[in-house]
Every structure is written in C-alpha cells, then in structure tokens.
Amino acid sequence: MFTRTTGLLIVPLWLASMSWLVAHDVWPGWTAQDPPLLRPTEWLMGEGNKTQFTVLHDNTPIGTIWTSYLVDSASIIRTDVVWIERFPLEITPMRVTVDSTFTGDGLLDEIHIELDNAGTAITLHGERFYADFSFTLETGSMERAFKVPLTDSGLVTGAFHPFAQLNDLSVGQTWRMQVFNPIAALTGVGNRFIPMLVSVVGEQTIATPEGDRRCLVVQSPNATAWVDQRGAVLAQEMTLPVAGTIRIVRESEYDDGARNAAEKHDFDPSRVRRRRG
C-alpha cells in the first residue's frame, strides 16, 4: 500500500538514481571533446618510432601488430600492420594494414585500411572534410560510399589496435571515435563500425616488460587502454561481437623481418593488391 512515508523514500531514491545516470551515461556524451591530438614528441620520433605488440585471445597469442611513424613538418603517418595467425573463426591467417595520416596540427586527415585473407580482400578509404569523414568501402565488385559526421568520428581506427599514441591526457577527458571491425567485414556478423564514447577514468599501475608503470586508464563500454606518461599505449583490450575480448600487449623488441614477411605474404597471386604507395 502506497503511503506518504513510501513516497518520501521513493523520491530521494529516484533522484539519486537519476543523478547517477546523468553522471555516468549522459554527462560524458554532452561534454565529449575533440580526440587527443597526435604530437611529434621527442620520444615518438626516437624510441617510440617503431613498436610491436602481441595479440592475445583467451590468454593465447594469436598474432602480432607492428606500428611505425613517419614524421615531418607537415604531417605524421602512422602505419599498423596486423597479422592474425589463428583465430576461433575460419578467417585466418589474416592481415590488416592501416595507414593513418595526421595533419601538422595532429588531426586525423585520412585513413586507408586494407584487409586480406585467403578468401576476401576489403579496402576502406576515408578522408576528412569540413563536417564529416567520407568513406569508400570496396569488397570484390561492390563499392559503397558513405559519410560519418565529424562529431561522431573525429578519430577512426581499426579494432585490433584502436589506441596508439595518446598525448596530453587528463582524468575526466572524453571523446568520440569510430572503430572499423574487420571480423564483421569478413563474416557479415555485427556492425562494421563500432561507435565509442571514450573517457580517461583514472590511474593504475600495471606490469610491463620494462617493469611496473603508472598509467592513465582510457575506457569505453567495449575497450580499455593503459597509457603511460609518454603517451605510449602499453596494453589495451577490445571486445568484439562474435570474437569476444582481444588483448594487445606491448613487447620490448621490434622484429623487422617478421613484419616484412607479414606484409609480403601473398594470399592470392591472381589478385591485384590495391595498397597505396
């Protein structure tokens, strides 16, 4: 039976729950900022110029990622070569190559993604315009053009390596980004693009090959990254539909020979590769 006393109890509880909802789900979206700008720091142009990561699924190594940067006064080009040797789905081995071009001001200006395996070749190309990112997706004889507003896509990355160098972070910072999901592109299951609202939620010490490191924790509902004071992403996790959670861990060494082998692997000699450059 509803009484005046019951009402006095319900109203504060309702207000408290609404306050929590606004603080955790609504407010970050309202206050989302531009993505962090990529800066040509001394560390990035030196020791951080080439980095290698192990990809794990269920704590088992399944592949490797090599990331490199080409820095000049006008732009920064980040190249990721993702080699997935084995995966629970019948889509491997698989290579994903991502070329991301940033302006001298640190904004993502252009992105080119190529995905190859034995059965499929997919190309995604995107360019920044005044109000949106314009994309062209090619697979086989199909070509599709579409646009994503810049308010939803100030940063576009690949799902196996959504976070790279993140400079000048602070707790409470929030931004939006879009992640291209190659598993969905290959299988047709799930969305090819995953929109993410990302926040810097706090600090945590993690173990790395270089010892314990204090990191800022960058988090969204389906991804988490640990970023040190240099802006280097030391570890990250991404949860994908069907595939589950993938963990990417930074290694202490960089193997040029293994990267070259992955880049040169020919899945289908009769197919012309469309990679630029």
Closest Cα to residue 175, out of 190, 157, 192, 191?
157
Among the CATH numbers 2.40.360, 1.10.150, 2.40.128, 1.10.3470, which is that of 42-108+152-252? 2.40.360
Count of Cβ atoms closer than 10 Å to residue 2 Cβ: 7
pLDDT tens-digit profile of 82-106?
Answer: 999 988 777 789 999 999 999 989 9
Kindly tell me if the per-residue pLDDT of 30 is higher than 50: no
Q: Quick one: DSSP state of residue 89?
A: S
- Under the banding of pLDDT at 50, 70 and 90, the label for residue 12 is very low
Q: Distance of alpha carbon 197 from its chain centroid, rounded?
A: 12
pLDDT given for residue 231 in this prediction: 94
pLDDT tens-digit profile of 216-237?
Answer: 999 999 999 999 999 999 999 9
In sequence order, the β-bridge partners of residue 223 are 220, 238
Q: Quick one: DSSP state of residue 34?
A: P
Q: Are 114 and 121 in contact (CB under 8 A)?
A: yes
Mean pLDDT computed over every residue of the chain: 83
Kindly tell me if the per-residue pLDDT of 28 is higher than 70: no
pLDDT given for residue 9 in this prediction: 42
Q: Are 131 and 125 in contact (CB under 8 A)?
A: no
pLDDT given for residue 70 in this prediction: 93
- Under the banding of pLDDT at 50, 70 and 90, the label for residue 55 is very high
pLDDT given for residue 269 in this prediction: 62
Kindly tell me if the per-residue pLDDT of 42 is higher than 80: yes
pLDDT tens-digit profile of 236-272?
Answer: 999 987 778 999 999 989 999 999 999 999 887 665 5
Domains in the chain: boundaries: 42-108+152-252
Q: What is the pTM of this model?
A: 0.84
Looking from the CA of 69 toward its CB, the CA atoms found within 13 Å total 23
For a pLDDT cut of 70, what percent of the chain falls above it? Answer: 85
Q: What one-letter code names the amino acid at 139?
A: T
Q: Are 160 and 182 in contact (CB under 8 A)?
A: yes
